[in-house]
Amino acid sequence: MATVPTTNTHLASWVDEVAKLMKPERVHWCDGSSAEKSRLTDEAVASKVLIPLDQKRWPGCYFHHSNPGDVARVEHLTFICTPTKEQAGPTNNWMDPKEAYQKLRGIYDGAMKGRTMYVVPYVMGPPDSPFSKVGVEITDSVYVALNMGVMTRMGKVALERLGGSNEFNRGVHSVADCNPDRRFICHFPQDNTIWSVGSGYGGNALLGKKCLALRIASYLARNEGWLAEHMLILEAESPDGEVSYVAAAFPSACGKTNFAMMIPPKPFDGWRIRTVGDDIAWLRVGEGGQLWAVNPEAGYFGVVPGTNFKTNPNAMKSIEKDTIFTNVARTKDGDVWWEGKDNEAPAELIDWKGQAWKKGSSEKAAHPNSRFTAPMDNNPALSRFAFDPKGVPLSALIFGGRRSTTMPLVLQSFNWTHGTYLASTLGSETTAAATGAVGVVRRDPMAMLPFIGYDAGTYLTHWLEMQSRIPNPPKLFMVNWFRKGGDGKFLWPGYGENMRVLKWILDRSHGRVGAQESILGYLPRLEDLNLAGLDIRMDDIRAAMKVDLGEWESELESQQEWFDKLGKTMPRALQLQRDLLLDRVKLARKVGA
């Protein structure tokens, strides 16, 4: 067995206990050094877990293909294991903790025979931030160890931060035989523990990300009076040097990375958008009574298809080196390709499953949920505050789903409670980031449906309670980039053009632009938006902004079904908001508005 690089007896004895169960051939404690990264990469290449790309074109970049049945988060196999079912609430799968430990112990027993057990200590958040959390993930996947090295502050730095403390998340992961019938992602919030088995896919296997930084952290955040949210964080600097920060929640694969790395269009010359984070925000009340945001991650695990120099040049530059590509298509000479890349597909490719692929094939060459894992430092638009231990102060929180109807392009809430109501009813058409049907509208409160680590009604109450903790709160907005016209085409061009909407949001947050009060909230009048140089029809913008009363009546019916599902803990204040809105819709219909 390897020498143990820690005097922390809590950690050493837990690792020993897990090793006794898993029975690996050897144990490797990750130190996070670059020498270790090259060694592990060589091992991964030797065992064909990674395939090197053309190193001249793609320095330090590798390709990985997963088991074809293991390509996304598995929400139906994700469990919150709290002492009672009520604590997990109606939106989570629940398993009794005793039963879960027993079931998974059975699968773990001997699962690492003949394999290496990697011990991966990591910090979520800047190592010198009082807000950061330490986790240790034990895994049998070298792919996971390497990805954790990109996505977190990994190795020695985490052991130093931990010292002799027993306060760390205990994460156990084994791909085992990657059998979907023996796949479970179990969270034990009361024990600060995660046990995951049967999947090597990022969201199921990189335990620092969704499992710790969202599910477990959301539970800790409620107890400790803060919020762990599925949000990007961006910095916007105006031509005269005013810097503002916003955080935005969108469901998986709805453009968080694109928004966080946006390049403003021509009429916004002199504006700079910089990225603080692209997926997760930890929000606490800080200096000046404002809400401050920290990105707990150190890298980007982004959706590849659709990424190109037009939609997201900064992402394209972020993945030019030291990047792991998972489930994209590649060429025989070590290049990579995906649907929506700048160039057309080459005549022949090797698809994400490793099969020969010919241009014109009806099959996708890259999996729709193929991913890049890239270090945050690669991003040319990285904010210099991305590593700031105290985070950044927020002027606005934005919520958005993928809705082809009903939701206007942008809307400001009347106040915190109303904004919480709008966010709690956020709906979105599902994407390939999770297994299941794609394109069905589902309610996704705060884009957190798959990530709330406890009862959803209690989570919404916590959001409402945060109002009295934040003396100087950010303003709350809703956006929808995805509304379609009668011809099925998107009404709004999206991507960099979203700067026009962001500018209105910033100006509203700073109290210096007009709006029109509507039954839904404050909407921009056309003259409140800078639409200079935008080549679309005014009618399309009006259609993107339209509040259609008929659509809203059905929307509110569907919202009621959602609220009914939340059950006894659903906060009354949100129900009242919905009822008030329904009355406003009915009155407006009566007067024929």
73 binds, among ligand OXD, Mn ion, none (CB under 5 to 8 A by kind): ligand OXD
Contact between 133 and ligand OXD per CB under 6 A: no
Contact between 277 and ligand OXD per CB under 6 A: no
Comparison of 373 and 412: residue with beta carbon closer to ligand OXD: 373
Rounded to the nearest 5°, which phi and psi values hold at 492? -120, 135
Contact between 252 and ligand OXD per CB under 6 A: yes
Comparison of 279 and 455: residue with beta carbon closer to ligand OXD: 279
β-pair partners for 299 = 375
Contact between 482 and ligand OXD per CB under 6 A: no
Q: Using CB under 5 A, which residues numbered 278 to 297 contact Mn ion?
A: 279
Contact between 279 and ligand OXD per CB under 6 A: yes
Active site residue 254: yes
Distance in angstroms (rounded) separating the CA atoms of residues 304 and 369: 7
Distance in angstroms (rounded) separating the CA atoms of residues 330 and 512: 50
Q: Using CB under 6 A, which residues numbered 281 to 320 contact ligand OXD?
A: 301
Q: Which of 302, 318, 187 is nearest to 253 (CA)?
A: 302
Nearest approach in angstroms of CB 73 to ligand OXD is 5
Residue type, 103: K
Contact between 64 and ligand OXD per CB under 6 A: no
C-beta neighbour count of 325 within 10 angstroms: 27
203 binds, among ligand OXD, Mn ion, none (CB under 5 to 8 A by kind): ligand OXD
Q: Give me the torsion for CA of 184, 189, 191, 196, rounded to 10°.
A: 20
Nearest approach in angstroms of CB 369 to ligand OXD is 8
> Which residue is nearest to ligand OXD, using beta carbons?
252
Residues 170-193: b if buried by 16+ CB within 10 A, e if exposed:
bbbbbbbebeeebbbbbbbbeebb
Distance in angstroms (rounded) separating the CA atoms of residues 146 and 41: 8
Contact between 65 and ligand OXD per CB under 6 A: no
Nearest approach in angstroms of CB 410 to ligand OXD is 23
CA angle 267, 271, 275 (to 5 degrees): 130
Q: Looking at 65, 73, 462, 483, which residue binds ligand OXD (CB under 6 A)?
A: 73
Contact between 378 and Mn ion per CB under 5 A: no
Contact between 461 and ligand OXD per CB under 6 A: no
81 binds, among ligand OXD, Mn ion, none (CB under 5 to 8 A by kind): none
Distance in angstroms (rounded) separating the CA atoms of residues 19 and 158: 20
Distance in angstroms (rounded) separating the CA atoms of residues 187 and 195: 7
C-beta neighbour count of 42 within 10 angstroms: 11
Distance in angstroms (rounded) separating the CA atoms of residues 28 and 358: 42
SS3 category, 234: strand
Distance in angstroms (rounded) separating the CA atoms of residues 441 and 401: 9
Q: Looking at 149, 171, 189, 203, which residue binds ligand OXD (CB under 6 A)?
A: 203
Nearest approach in angstroms of CB 492 to Mn ion is 22
Helix (H) or strand (E) holding 374: strand 371-375
Nearest approach in angstroms of CB 252 to ligand OXD is 3
SS3 category, 586: helix
Nearest approach in angstroms of CB 201 to Mn ion is 13
Stretch that binds Mn ion, among 28-36, 106-114, 246-254, 416-424 (CB under 5 A): 246-254
Contact between 252 and Mn ion per CB under 5 A: yes
Comparison of 279 and 555: residue with beta carbon closer to ligand OXD: 279
Nearest approach in angstroms of CB 203 to ligand OXD is 5
For helices 456-469 and 572-590, the axis angle rounded to 10 degrees is: 90
C-beta neighbour count of 26 within 10 angstroms: 13
40 binds, among ligand OXD, Mn ion, none (CB under 5 to 8 A by kind): none
> What is the total count of residues that contact ligand OXD (CB under 6 A)?
7
Report the Cα 1 to chain-centroid distance in Å: 37
> What is the total count of residues that contact Mn ion (CB under 5 A)?
2
Using an 8 Å Cβ cutoff, are 172 and 120 in contact?
no
Contact footprint for ligand OXD (CB under 6 A)? 73, 202-203, 252, 279, 301, 433
Tell me the catalytic residues.
Answer: 254
Contact footprint for Mn ion (CB under 5 A)? 252, 279
